[in-house]
Every structure is written in structure tokens, then in C-alpha cells.
Amino acid sequence: MTTPSDNLTRRRLLMALPLAGAGVAGVAFWKMLDGMQHGSFNPHDINAPVLDRPVPDFTLAPLPPAEGFTTQDLQQLTKPVLVNFFASWCIPCLAEMPTLMTLKDRLTMWGIAYKDKPDNIASFLHHSGNPFTRLGDDHTGRAGIEWGISGVPETFLVGPGGIIRWHTAAPLTDATINRVLLPLVQRLQTP
Amino acid sequence: MLSPELGHYALALACVLAAVQGIIPLIGASRRDARLMALAPGLAIGQMIALGVSFLSLIYAAVTDDFSVQNIAENSAVSKPLLYKITGVWGNHEGSILLWALILGLCGAAVAAFGRNLPSALRARVIAVLGLVATGFELFCLTTSDPFARIWPAPMDGQGMNPLLQDPGLAFHPPILYTGYVGFAVPFAFAIAALIEGRVDAAWGRWVRPWAVAAWCFLTCGIAMGSWWSYYVLGWGGYWFWDPVENASLIPWLTGTALIHSAIVVEKREALKIWTVLLAIATFSFSLSGTFLVRSGILNSVHAFANDPARGVFILGLLGVVIGGSLALFAYRAPTLTAGGLFAPISREGALVLNNILLCSLCAVVLTGTMYPPFMSLLFDRTISVGKPFFDATTIPLALPLFIFMGFGPMLPWKRAQLWPVLQKLWLAAIVAALACAVAVFELSGVLAILCAAAALWVIAASVTDLAERTKLFRVPVATSLQRARMLPRAIIGTAIAHAGVGITVLGLAAMSQAQHKIVEVPIGTTEQLAGYDWTLKAVEQEPGPNYTAMVATLEVRRNGRLVTVMHPSKRSFNSQNQTTTDVAIHTNMLADLYGVLGDRHGPDTSPTYVLRLHYNPLAPWMWLGALIMAFGGALSLSDRRMRVGAPQRAKPTPASTSVA
Amino acid sequence: MTIRHKLAALAAGLLLMATPVLVLAVDDPSEMLPNPQQEARAQAIGAQLRCLVCQNESIEDSSAGLARDLRRVVREHVAKGENNQQVMDWMVSRYGNFIRLKPAFSLGTLLLWAMPVLALLMGIGTAFLFYRRRAAAPPPPPLTEDEKARLARLTKD
């Protein structure tokens, strides 16, 4: 037989369940907000499952005079290459170009023009500078789908053997380059 | 003179008044000091007046194009029409928080004005709780979202408003929706006051219900308006995205609907007291967290206001105090509340319990579906989407039994009932539902759509049967029936109407699952076929507007060669923001909408082609019509003599009065 | 909240992803499959795929360019004779589970999918427990004849 006060305590514990639930949700929200402020949590991230996978099969139209590239070219890599999807109609791509230009001497970059016209691509690269050693034209956006991109700019680091080692769907910044990208390139270059 | 500084001062004054309103009456109530308690109404009304002055100052600044106010400079422009200068005040984060606070102030003043018959301690406590909540929001407004902040130098012209907001439907959508959200603060305050007092009885149920019903009516209209806006402005042919922001309004609507039903049981039978108190707390908590978490950017929603995690932390703290505090009080006090009346599982009470279980299960599903992606992302670092196919598959099976039991519920007697006599009364409704099912099998595709259509007609038929039974229609002379109908309590008529409204909405939803659409790119003069109609693009012309230029199409729709309508979908380019909007053309005959959208222009100037999006949406207007009927039913039951705010004295209701509704 | 609705969509669409959301895509009628059964299947698959750059919209509903491209890809795969699962897997392998509007059953989504049943059972269970407890403590039974007589004797004095 339980005493009335035992009974009351038990009932109180039962009635505290909503409070406990709200508390758990509150802590989780706080962690999310905290993560958003520190950049470790991004609810808008798509997380394409490309990491550590071979590059997809894709075809690009040539953009003469630049040299184009194919899946096989990436598979035969011995040194890492940065593959960047860009477009002349995309404002963040334009903003990203100076950053890519500074990276040009330290890392090989191949560009893919996404849903763009050859004339516009040429004048875009003429104005912003051309950081790419090879260039392909994805006029239909089909290669982009094979790579799993949802917009431009998106950037992939392809390691030796054509394995995708890193990916970002945001414009590259100096911070990401120095903190994440270049250390990774170092590791990939020293087998 | 209404200057921004005066507005800012009035806001600060309101905040101080709210704090006093939150403290003094509580002390008065616990000391049984009539003088301190008597301060509550005055403080509440004072706070409302201060907020009103503050809000008017902001409107004045908007109307007079005072671009030295940052908020106005960022969201208004000289060229904007007057109406949208005014409505644009709540079209941004800061202004909408101020509107939120103003409505909360109005609620407090309404309790002060209409709650004269409440026991003075209860009224003082209710007003005090509203004051405490208001203090939090006014502090939030003053510290992190100041709508009156000045900028220097002041720009010559503002940056203008999002052209999509330049729409009368959307201009009045936020005030109505917010009134719904904030209105649930009153039942919340009643619940907290009852917990402090340690007493929940039939009179409490009777006092709280009109406030809950009123808030529910506004929320219903607000959600319907939002959905309608999304339908006719966004030009995608649909009406509900299952977007976090939409779900954030649906969740409190579901718990609020449960609340207005469970409060009936408290009022009539003094049962479900603890549960009703919890629902009142939950509904307001969901209203708060939904609208505010959206502003923090956690939820993956493009509706989001400018995301600001720092602002989010303040909001989270505020939510923690309001929700955490009230649930802690609930955990401490609810177990001491006395148990209520007994009832058999098959009874009116039993049906209402079932209604609550199903509504809350629906709420749990929508809540889980909405919150799962960020939680997955946090815990497992994986992103997933939860969209329409998930919600269709999980909510409809829960909603169908709800619709079926909705038919029985209002006809069951209290305490203990027999199912068979009720079933006998509903045979006609059952036949209607069965016939509907048979017709639907041929007309609609998809099992769930067929079942929904049948359930909808069942609900409507059962509501009509309920009224027919009560007025003894066709069994006594029509005049006698009319006489009986006049004698029926408004609450009963209101219930039947609201339930029929649910049926009408569901019928619209079921039919909309059969909508057809087509997206084409055509030159002028082409005829497209969709759903048995011939749609011909006759012409496209340029037309200037007040602050935009429009490309207007002339779209002729014929059926079997006979002209049905000429529609003018257009595409507007706004001068100030370099933005375009689509202006959908809708032709409705109430049974179906013909819906045309003009898209981009392509090709050379000599032979241009235009993108057209054509939709055939059967019974589309019924979805919103049903919601309006629901709200009308709620409003009608509010006009019931017995529902009038504060009418009853605290006393046991006499057994005679419990026999109805 | 809904207020900023499309401004946010436009800002997100035009500036961040550089993919216009509102602008209607060109949809070539020839994009539709000639075989009506295959077209119906393609539409059913498309309704399950999220337009990655829009709101909670499926690629069948969306006017965004990427949605149109994905529609075309879905139709190509359907025309090749792949079944629904194969097309879905192809999409998921490129875009991850984010693209499924209806999350796949897995350990991680167990709670999500179980929620309707779980909530219903919890509700019914709680109601049943409370009912049984109340029913188990019935009001005292009416007095027997003996007791009534005793009561009458006691109250007589």
C-alpha cells in the first residue's frame, strides 16, 4: 500500500513528462543554434553522398581553344585536381573567382561551365581571369546531375585515381581553403 | 506628434506596464488584496493603449515615408501604394513582432473588459499571466528587434517591399493568423491561473471555451488565407507545401481543435481537467515555438525571415521561460487537481476523448515530420526530406477514423450511450457515404482519395442528420421544425455547421488530388487541350502599372467550341527591386478552377514563344470555403447565450443544462 | 512569416544557389513520354523526388530549371525500362536521401514512420489506463438493509 504522498510524487513524475520532452527539445534547439553560429550545423546542407566515390560518367562539350576533359582523364589522375562548376549568370561564382585565382598556382583546377553559352563563358573568364587549366561545357546541365550538384558554384576535390575526396556546395572562401582544402591536398599528395 | 521616438518610448512604457501587470495582481491574488487585484484591468488596458500608440507611430512613419527609420527604409518606398505602406509595417520581422505584442495587449485588454463576471482572483491571475508573457515579447522587441531604430544619413528612397506582398490577401493574412496564435494565450493564461489556484471546475471550462473558440476561428481563417494566397499568388497550382512554416500553423490548430472539444467535457462533466489544462498550455506553446523557431533559421524553410541565430538564442531563452515555466508548474500542481466525473467508453465524453486522441496523434505526426530533418542532421549528420508523400501516407489514415467518428459524436448522449440507436438515426448518412464511395470509385483514382471523398460526405450528411433529428424534420410539420430550430442552442447549430465545413474542406482536398496540369511553351495562336478544355493563347501585350510594367496574356478557354472564359494571366516586372512576379488568372465556377500562369518569353522578337502553365483544379474553392464555414460555425457557437464570455457564475451547472450540446 | 515567403525564396534562389525559383521553366511538350503508362509512372516517381532548390516541392510541381532537368532524366530512365526502385536508387546515389520526399525506412527514420501508430497506441493506452483506474475505484456501493437499519438506529438518538 502506497502512502498518499508517495502517490502524489509518482503522479508528479508522470506529469513532468511534458516538461522533460520540452527540455530535450530545448537543448537540441540550443545545440542547433550554437552549431549554426559556429558553422558546424547547417540545416540547409544537401549532403550529396559523393565523398570517397569514383567520379561519375559524364560528357562535356568542348570549349575551344581550352582543352576539355573526360571521366577517363580524372580516373588517370596522379595528383589531386579541383573541379569547379560555375556559370557566367551566377553572381556568387563571379564573387568566387578572385579566390580561385589566388589558388591557381597551388592547385590544378578544371572548370565546368554549367548551363551557359560559349560567348558568355569566354567573356566571363576574360573579365574575371581564368584559373582553369582545362575547361568543359555542360550546356544541358546533365553532367551536373551526374555529379549531383543542385546549383552553382559547387566544387569537388578529385584525388588520385578519380576518387572524390571533398565537396562543397558553397562558394570557396580563404578560410575553407586554408583550413580544410589545402591540408587535405597535402595529405593526398604524400602517399 | 507621432514620431518614432514616441513610438519607442510608448513601447518601453508598455513593457514596464506589462511587467507591473504581471506582478502586482499575482501578489494581490495570493494575499486576497482586492485593491491590488483591481489594478489588473487598468494596467492591461494601459499597456494596450501604449502599444497602440507605438504601433500607430510606426504606421505614421511608414505613411509619411520617414526613411530615417531603418525598418521603413528597408521595407518601404515612395512609389508604394498607400495601402501597402500601411500593411508593409507588419511585413517584416520587427514590425510583425510589434504586431504580435499589440495583439497580445489586445487580448489582455479584452479579458479586462469582458471578464467582469470572473471571480476577481481568477481574473487578476489571468491578466497577470498575459502581462508576464507580454513583458517577454516587448523586451525581445526592444532589445533585439527594435522597429524604430534610426539610420543616418537617411536615404532618399526606401528599398521597397517584396512585390509579392503587394497583394490584398497577404496584407491582411498576418493580423488574422497572429490573432489566432496569440489568442491562444488567453486559454493558456486561464490554465496557468487555474494551476496557481489549484482549481479547475465546470465554470472554468465554461469561461475558457469562448476564448479558445475565438482564437480557433481566427487561426482557421488565417491558415486558410495563407493557403489561398499560396495558391493564387505563387502560381504553382498547389495549395499546401507541407513546409515547416505551414506546419507550424497546423500543429497549434490541431491541438487547439482538441482543446475546444475537451473543454466541453470539462464544462459539462468536470472530467478531462488535467488534460484540458495541458492542451491549453501545449497549444500556446506550439503557437509560440512554431512562429519563433521559424525566425531562427533552424527549420529548412524558404519562408524564413532574415535568419539570425543570435536572435534565435534570445527567443529560445524566452520560450524556455514561458513553456518550461508553465510545464514545471503543471508537473507540480496538476497532480493535486481532483478527478472528475465518470463516464462509459461509449458516450459523448468517450467520443470526445477519441477525437482528442486522433487529433493529438495527427499533431504528433506533423510535429515529428517537421522536426525530423533538423534532428537527423544534428544527431546523425544526415539530411533527409519529409514531404507530401510522407504526410499523405501518415496523416490520411489517422484523419479517416476521425471523420467517421465525427458523424457519431454529436449524437451520443453524455455519460453512457448505446451505439445502435445512433446508428439507426444515421442510416441515411451512411447510404449517402456509400453512394459517394461508389461514385468516387469511378470518378477518382487512388484509394485514399475515394475514402476521403466518402468520409467527407458522411460528415456532411451526419451533420445535417443531427440538425434534422433535433428539429424532428419531416416527422412534425415544417413550421414546428422551424420553431424547434429557433429554440436550438446556437452552440449545437454551430457544431453542425463547423463539422459540415470540415466535410466540405475534405471533399475539396480529395477532388484536388485529381487536379491536372500542363506546362507548355507555345507561340501566339496555339491551342492546348487540358481536362476537356481548349486553351488558346490569343495575344500578349505590355501594360504599365503603378510601380511595375506587366506582360499580359489573353487566354481564351473554350469547351466544345463554346467560350467559357477569357483569362488574363500576367507577369509583372517591378521597377524598384528588379523582381518579377506572376499574376495568376483563375476562372472559377465553384466546381472547378481553371488556372493559367504566364511564364517567360523566349525566341526572337519576330516570333516569340511563351511559357504557359495550365491547371484544372476540381473543387479547389471548397477547401477554403469549408474553412470559412468552420470558422463561421465557431463564431455562431460563440454567440450562444451560454458561451458568452464571463456569463456564468461559479456554480455547479444544473443537471438540466447538461442535457444539450 | 509567410510574409517574406517569396522574397526569401528569390534571395536564396537567385543569390545563393543562382537558380531562379519563380521563373517558369520551358517545358517542351515532347518531353512527355509517348507511352501513357510510362508517363504515368514517370509522374509518380517525380512526385516522390524533391526539387532540391525549392520549397518542399516535388520536381513534378516545380518550375525550377533543375527540376525540369531531373524530370527529363527520370523519363529517360523510365523509357529505358528501369523500374521505380532503380530510378529512385539512381537519384539517391547522386543526391542522397535529401531527394526523397518520402524518407526511406531505416533505423534512423524508424521513429518517424512509427509515429502514427505509436502516438495512437500511447493515446489509447493512456485513456484505457485512466479509465480502468477510475472504474477500479467505484463509488461505495449502496447501503444494505442491515446497514440502513443500523444507521436509522444510530441517528435516532
Interface TM-score (ipTM) > 0.90: no
Residue B302, SS3?
coil
Chain C contacts to A (CB-CB under 8 A): 14-19, 52-53, 65-66, 69-70, 73, 92-96, 98
Q: Are residues C9 and C82 in the same domain?
A: yes
Q: Is the pLDDT confidence value at B307 over 70?
A: no
C-beta atoms of B293 and A29 within 8 A: yes
pLDDT in tens, chain A (191 residues): 456 677 888 888 989 999 999 999 999 988 988 887 777 777 766 766 778 889 999 989 888 888 889 999 999 988 999 999 999 888 888 889 999 999 988 899 999 999 888 899 999 999 888 999 999 999 888 999 999 888 888 999 999 989 999 888 888 888 888 888 899 998 888 76
Which residues in chain B (256-315) have CB-CB distances under 8 A to chain C? 291, 294-295, 301-306
Range of the domain at C9: 5-99
Closest CA to C134 of B258, A2, B338, A10: B338
pLDDT at C2: 37
β pairing state of A163-168 and A154-159:
antiparallel
Strand order, beta sheet including A61-62? A61-62, A134-138, A108-114, A81-86, A154-159, A163-168
Helices (H), B184-243: 185-197, 202-233
Instruction: Answer yes or no: are the C-beta atoms of B465 and B421 closer than 8 Å.
Output: no
Cross-strand bridge partners of residue B614: B518, B596
Q: Check if C44 contacts B (Cβ < 8 Å).
A: no
pLDDT at B419: 83
pLDDT in tens, chain C (157 residues): 333 333 333 333 333 332 233 333 334 555 678 888 888 899 889 989 998 877 778 888 777 778 888 988 999 999 999 999 999 999 998 888 889 999 999 888 999 999 999 999 999 999 998 888 777 765 556 677 777 777 777 766 5
C-beta atoms of C66 and A140 within 8 A: no
Q: Are residues C86 and C134 in the same domain?
A: no
Closest CA to B285 of B144, B181, B175: B181
Q: Taking the CB of residue C50, how many other CB atoms lie within 10 A of it?
A: 29
pLDDT at B577: 58
Residues of chain B with Cβ-Cβ distance to C97 below 8 Å are: 382-385
Q: Check if C69 contacts B (Cβ < 8 Å).
A: no
Instruction: Answer yes or no: are the C-beta atoms of B464 and B493 closer than 8 Å.
Output: no
* Chain A contact probe: residue of C73, C95, C97, C111 with most A CBs at under 10 A: C95
Q: Check if C32 contacts B (Cβ < 8 Å).
A: no
Residues of chain A with Cβ-Cβ distance to B312 below 8 Å are: 33, 36
Q: Which cell goes with C82?
A: 528501369
Cross-strand bridge partners of residue B540: B553
The one-letter amino acid at B36: L
Domain annotation covers residue A54? no
| Nearest CB neighbour to C50, from listed B248, B364, B385 | B385
C-beta atoms of B298 and A23 within 8 A: no
pLDDT at C152: 77
pLDDT at A47: 65
Domain annotation covers residue A45? no
- Looking at every residue in chain B, the average pLDDT score rounds to 88
Q: Check if B238 contacts C (Cβ < 8 Å).
A: yes
Q: Are residues A95 and A153 in the same domain?
A: yes
Domain annotation covers residue C104? no
Closest CA to B432 of B483, B503, B491: B503
| % of residues, chain B, pLDDT over 90 | 54
Chain A contacts to B (CB-CB under 8 A): 8, 11-12, 14-16, 18-19, 22-23, 25-26, 28-33, 35-37, 41, 43-47
Our CA-based measurement puts residue A151 at a distance from the nearest CA of chain C, in whole angstroms, of: 5
Which residues in chain B (366-385) have CB-CB distances under 8 A to chain A? 371, 373-375, 377-378, 381-383
Domain annotation covers residue A181? yes
- Region B350-356: what's the mean pLDDT? 94
Q: Check if B316 contacts A (Cβ < 8 Å).
A: yes
C-beta atoms of B90 and C98 within 8 A: no
Q: Check if B385 contacts C (Cβ < 8 Å).
A: yes
Q: Are residues A76 and A134 in the same domain?
A: yes
pLDDT at C14: 31
Q: Check if B313 contacts A (Cβ < 8 Å).
A: yes
Residues of chain C with Cβ-Cβ distance to A91 below 8 Å are: 14-15, 18
Residues of chain A with Cβ-Cβ distance to C52 below 8 Å are: 46, 150
C-beta atoms of A92 and C15 within 8 A: yes
pLDDT at C156: 67
C-beta atoms of A33 and B336 within 8 A: no
Rounded CA separation A182/A184 (Å)? 5
Give me the DSSP letters along A79-134.
S-EEEEEE-TT-HHHHHHHHHHHHHTTTSEEEEEEES--HHHHHHHHHHH----SE
Q: Which residue of A has its CA nearest to C91?
A: A148
Taking only the tens place, the pLDDT of each residue in B395-408 is 999 999 999 999 88
β pairing state of A154-159 and A81-86:
antiparallel
Q: Check if B416 contacts C (Cβ < 8 Å).
A: no
The one-letter amino acid at A18: P
Rounded CA separation B91/B58 (Å)? 12
The H or E element spanning position C6 is helix C5-10
| Nearest CB neighbour to C96, from listed A46, A144, A145 | A46
Q: Are residues A93 and A159 in the same domain?
A: yes
Domain annotation covers residue C18? yes
pLDDT at B74: 85
pLDDT at C137: 64
Burial class (CB in 10 A: 0-12, 13-18, 19+), B38: middle
Residue A136, SS3?
strand
Domain annotation covers residue A65? yes
C-beta atoms of B293 and A8 within 8 A: no
Closest CA to B160 of B63, B96, B93, B78: B78
Q: Check if B608 contacts C (Cβ < 8 Å).
A: no
- Region B612-632: what's the mean pLDDT? 94
Answer with the one of C72, C99, C126 that is the final residue of a domain: C99
Domain annotation covers residue A155? yes
Instruction: Answer yes or no: are the C-beta atoms of B330 and B279 closer than 8 Å.
Output: no
A65 preceded by a cis bond (ω within 30 of 0) = yes
Domain annotation covers residue A48? no
Taking only the tens place, the pLDDT of each residue in B49-69 is 999 999 999 999 999 999 999
C-beta atoms of A19 and B373 within 8 A: no
Task: Give first-to-last CA distance, chain C, whole Å.
Answer: 76
Our CA-based measurement puts residue A155 at a distance from the nearest CA of chain C, in whole angstroms, of: 13
Domains annotated on chain B, with CATH: 1-161 (no CATH), 516-621 (2.60.98)
Helices (H), B490-588: 490-512
Residues of chain B with Cβ-Cβ distance to A14 below 8 Å are: 335
Q: Are residues A162 and A73 in the same domain?
A: yes
Q: Taking the CB of residue B79, how many other CB atoms lie within 10 A of it?
A: 14
pLDDT at B24: 95
Number of structural domains found in chain C? 2
- Placement of cell 497577404 in the chain: B170
C-beta atoms of B162 and C26 within 8 A: no
pLDDT at B270: 87
What are the residues whose beta carbons fall under 8 Å from the beta carbon of A92, sequence distance 6 or more?
A152, A153, A171, C15, C16, C18
Rounded CA separation B100/A57 (Å)? 54
Q: Which carries the bigger pLDDT value, residue B164 or residue B502?
A: B502
pLDDT at B483: 86
CATH number reported for the structural domain that contains residue C60 in this entry: 1.10.8.640
Q: Which carries the bigger pLDDT value, residue A43 or residue B592?
A: B592
Rounded CA separation B61/B69 (Å)? 8
C-beta atoms of C53 and A92 within 8 A: no
B593-608 in b/e burial notation, b at 16+ Cβ within 10 A? bbbbbbbbeeeeeeee
Q: Is the pLDDT confidence value at B394 over 90?
A: yes
Q: Is the pLDDT confidence value at B299 over 80?
A: no
Our CA-based measurement puts residue B336 at a distance from the nearest CA of chain A, in whole angstroms, of: 7
Alpha-carbon Rg of chain A, whole angstroms? 24
- Region B243-264: what's the mean pLDDT? 93
Range of the domain at A17: 4-38
Instruction: Answer yes or no: are the C-beta atoms of B532 and C37 closer than 8 Å.
Output: no
Taking only the tens place, the pLDDT of each residue in B113-139 is 998 888 999 999 999 999 999 999 999
Q: Are residues A17 and A97 in the same domain?
A: no
Our CA-based measurement puts residue A147 at a distance from the nearest CA of chain C, in whole angstroms, of: 7
pLDDT at B370: 92
C-beta atoms of B242 and C102 within 8 A: no
**Chains touching B by CB (3 or more pairs below 8 Å):** A, C
pLDDT at B651: 46
CATH number reported for the structural domain that contains residue A95 in this entry: 3.40.30.10
pLDDT at B264: 92
C-beta atoms of C3 and B304 within 8 A: no
- Region B296-306: what's the mean pLDDT? 58
Most confident of B274-288, B330-344, C130-144: B274-288
pTM of the model: 0.89
pLDDT at C103: 92
C-beta atoms of C69 and A140 within 8 A: yes
β pairing state of B585-588 and B592-602:
antiparallel
Number of structural domains found in chain A? 2
Residue A105's Cα: distance from chain center in Å? Answer: 21
pLDDT at B88: 87
Our CA-based measurement puts residue C49 at a distance from the nearest CA of chain A, in whole angstroms, of: 13
What are the residues whose beta carbons fall under 8 Å from the beta carbon of B146, sequence distance 6 or more?
B8, B94
Rounded CA separation B263/B498 (Å)? 17
Taking CB atoms within 8 Å and a gap of at least 24, the contacts of B93-96 are B93/B145, B93/B295, B93/B305, B93/B306, B94/B141, B94/B145, B94/B146, B94/B147, B95/B58, B95/B71, B95/B147, B96/B174, B96/B178, B96/C1, B96/C3
Closest CA to B470 of B483, B457, B460: B483
| % of residues, chain B, pLDDT over 70 | 94
C-beta atoms of C19 and A141 within 8 A: no
Q: Are residues C114 and C94 in the same domain?
A: no
Residues of chain B with Cβ-Cβ distance to A45 below 8 Å are: 377, 383
